[in-house]
Chains A and B, each alone.
Chain A
Amino acid sequence: MGDPIVLEGLTKAYGDFVAVDSVDMKVKKNSFTGFLGPNGAGKSTTLKILTNLTKATSGSAYLNGIDVTKDFKGALANVGVVVETPEFYPYLTPHETFNYIGELNGMSKESITARGDEILEFLKMTENADKRIGEFSKGMKQRVALGQALLVDPEIIILDEPTSGLDPRGMVEMREILKGLSTSGLTIFMSSHIMQEVSYLCDHVAIIERGKIIADGDVKDLLATNGMRHIEVTTLKDITDAHLDTISSWSEVDSITRLTNHQMQIKLNGGDSEQAALMSKMHAMDLGVYNVSSQGADLEKLYMELVKETR
């Protein structure tokens, strides 16, 4: 079976304004793919086309091999969706909301109940299962939103800014829930503005700017390809100018900055194998390297390098 999400020449125009411009893209099976881009770049429009909230002007968007622009019922049958921050019918409880969604998807009452209870437990919402959603906080509503997306036991989950509008604690809790899903064999496609979130959750990333995909692939590969891989090295011995000159002459190193007498930041040329070679050489220098850490801001730097402006 091919990639679960495939976009081919996907275009959405509003008059002269082209929000999504001939996008070609594939999301790999079982990947957690982050979809990044500045405001107005076309992220939400792309996701809305995928979820039948907006019609494409041209092109195709396949979910599990079915073109959503031609057969949205078939395409969305096995997909869970959380677009922005959906509101719920305040007069329904989470159980009743799951019943509504489940019945529309053809699930039996028994399977809705069993699956619903399992999901509510996973989301730590069991004790609120029979309270009306109108009384819920935004964070609780977002958990129910994720719950309804998981209800049909989908192969694909599409998330549009899932932590948007949540307070810091709500964000952290939602991220942990999403992290838990990342190992469950699902294919997750998530748009987000929050680089830290994407770095933490995603193994793949696609960046869209002015309606066009400008980078797409494995996060590590993208960082390596674009010379954006940074490490911080901490040593027992003082880092001298001679050390810096030697290290900067190595082919694995793009640039080097001394942070303190015992700490330096190295921008790598290449990926894992280059980093391994660099480590061997540094150990041979007898600097007393006792800590090496990858910097979380790498993806942000890549993003800032690639995306020059918003529109």
Chain B
Amino acid sequence: MTTTLPSDLNQAMTVVKYEILKYLRGKKLLVFLGLITLIMVLFTAMPYLLGERAGLPTDAGELMIWYMAFIMILIILAVTLFAADSLASEFEHRTGLLLLPRPIKREVMFAGKFIASYLVSAIMILIFYVSVFVISFAVTGEVTSKGYTSLGMAMLYILAATGLGFLFSAFMARGNTAAILLFACLLMIFPIIDVVFMFADIEPVFSLTYNGDSVYYALTDAETNSDFGFTTYVPKLSSAAPVLAGWAILTTAIAAFKFKRREF
């Protein structure tokens, strides 16, 4: 049989299609959707159940901040679930023995997997934002423009965090190890380093998590201050965006390079 091999782009899109099918048929997506639903229900019902408020905030900005209390953890969970084991699992579960001997470049397969992971994480977070936007419109009659800025920063942070997830996945033998490492870095290790720098009165302008916090700070009017005896730095959107883009490019490039050279 004589066939013409598809272009790299077409092959990458094929990988995207079947990777997304993996998530659609897996349990991770359902778990994450369940979590989003739970958060929405709890945050909507809590003000009424606790009786501390006369319902949800009526100011669009305050309402957005109310719902976005866990947005950073949601993003970290999304990339941990949908990115961290994407490459490592091909080696760990030996599924790579099926696809890697096919006439497809490793970097093309990498691109397909990366796009699929990013799309799934981004869509999950987008669903959360859109749900909050709908509630905001229903309760306050408007959606704060800061919500859209936060959404934009969230999409960029997911890109950078997915890059870091793929970097760990490219180097680690096991998907679970890569997932734990990514979760620990984004939730604890990097933020601790950020705080250490702040105590030393140095703004961690290079940090992934420090700049990632702009997803939340974009909703507030917080600014860098020295109210408590030391300087609490707040990332500026103008510098956070390029730093996050830099993290995305650097981690993705190293991950792709490692995946291309990784041997069975």
Where the two chains meet, the residues of A that have a C-beta atom closer than 8 Å to any C-beta of B are 48, 51-55, 72-77, 79, 81, 83-89, 91-92, 96-97, 100-101, 103-107, 111, 115, 145, 148, 152-153
Contact = CB atoms under 8 A, between A and B. Distances in A.
Most buried by B among A53, A79, A145: A53
Contacts of B261: 55
Contacts of B105: 73
A48 B264 contact: yes
Contacts, number: 97
B209 to A, nearest CB: 33
A74 B4 CA distance: 10
Nearest to B14: A103
A84 B15 CA distance: 23
Interface residues of B, number: 29
Nearest to A77: B103
A207 B25 CA distance: 45
B82 to A, nearest CB: 15
A240 B98 CA distance: 60
Contact of A53 (B15, B95, B264): B264
B101 A76 contact: yes
B1 A73 contact: no
Interface of B: 1, 3-6, 11, 14-15, 18, 21-22, 25-26, 93-105, 261, 263-264
Contacts of A87: 93-95, 97-98
9 contacts: A52-B101, A53-B101, A54-B264, A55-B263, A87-B95, A89-B18, A92-B21, A96-B21, A107-B1
B178 to A, nearest CB: 18
Contacts of B101: 51-53, 76, 79, 81, 83
Given A75-B103, A100-B99, 5 more contacts: A53-B101, A91-B21, A104-B6, A104-B99, A105-B3
Contact of A105 (B15, B21, B103, B263): B103
Given A48-B263, A84-B94, A92-B18, A101 B6 contact: no
Closest 4 CB pairs of A and B: A153-B1, A86-B97, A51-B101, A81-B101
A48 B91 CA distance: 14
Contacts of B263: 48, 53-55
Given A53-B100, A89-B18, A91-B25, A106 B93 contact: no
Contacts of A52: 100-101
A215 B105 CA distance: 35
Nearest to B92: A87
Contacts of B94: 84-87
B97 A106 contact: no
B49 to A, nearest CB: 39
A105 B27 CA distance: 30
B104 A104 contact: yes
Contact of A104 (B4, B21, B26, B103): B103
Nearest to A44: B264
A71 B185 CA distance: 39
Contact of A86 (B1, B3, B6, B98): B98
Contact of B14 (A51, A54, A79, A100): A100
A76 B6 CA distance: 14
Nearest to A91: B25
A111 B93 contact: no
A81 B97 CA distance: 9
A97 B99 CA distance: 10
B98 A104 contact: no
Contacts of A145: 98
Contact of B98 (A72, A106, A148, A152): A148
Contacts of B22: 89, 91
Contact of A73 (B25, B98, B99, B104): B104
Contacts of A83: 97, 101, 264
A195 to B, nearest CB: 25
A246 B73 CA distance: 90
Contacts of A148: 98
A189 to B, nearest CB: 13
Nearest to A55: B263
Nearest to B7: A106
A55 B99 CA distance: 16
A80 to B, nearest CB: 9
Contact of A106 (B4, B21, B96): B4
Given A53-B264, A111-B1, A76 B18 contact: no
B264 A106 contact: no
A76 B93 contact: no
Nearest to A12: B263
